[in-house]
Structure 1
Amino acid sequence: MSHILDSFKLDGKTAVVTGASRGLGQGMAVALAEAGADIVAVSSTPSMETRAMIEALGRRCVVVEAD
């Protein structure tokens, strides 16, 4: 029997997450990375903390500053 999270694997996918520098956006970016996605973290204030958290999971992260 497979684990339920196996149904939600995002390996080979890229997720664009807005508001990724803090709060819910940061949480979603990390959760998507945990599921296997690479992340484009969009925020008005770029967060190297978010990038470090995602890269620590072995995923790629591009930080984009946008309003």
Structure 2
Amino acid sequence: MTTLAGLTLLMSGGSRGIGLAIATRAAQNGANVVLLAKTAEPQPRLEETVHTGAAQIQEAGGQALAVV
């Protein structure tokens, strides 16, 4: 398995979907993750935010920083 320890991934659109899945997997492989997304507050149709995405990455054992 490849390690990403010591590297930082900058993920645009990482609050949900494929972007979040890629960021989470990279964090599980040791990368630090900076999530960029425009959704800071939950919406009726889209409850996920950049902050919930960062929390999910941290729950998976990674380091994450949310940037709106």
Query: Normalising by structure 2, what TM-score?
Result: 0.77
Larger Rg: 1
- Alignment partner of 2:61 out of 58, 61, 64: 58
Give percent identity, aligned residues only: 31
Higher-helix-fraction structure: 1
Give the CA deviation at 1:60: 1.7
Q: What per-residue deviation string (whole Å, max 9, x for no partner) do you get for residues 15-63 of structure 1?
A: 0011100111111110110111010000111422211111123322111
- Aligned equivalents of 2:62 and 2:24: distance in 1? 10
1:35 aligns with 2:29: yes
Gaps of 5+ in 1: none
Count residues with an aligned counterpart.
59
1:12 aligns with 2:6: yes
Q: Secondary structure at 2:62's aligned position in 1?
A: coil
Gaps of 5+ in 2: 41-49
Higher relative contact order (CA 8 A, sep 6+): 2
Query: Normalising by structure 1, what TM-score?
Result: 0.78
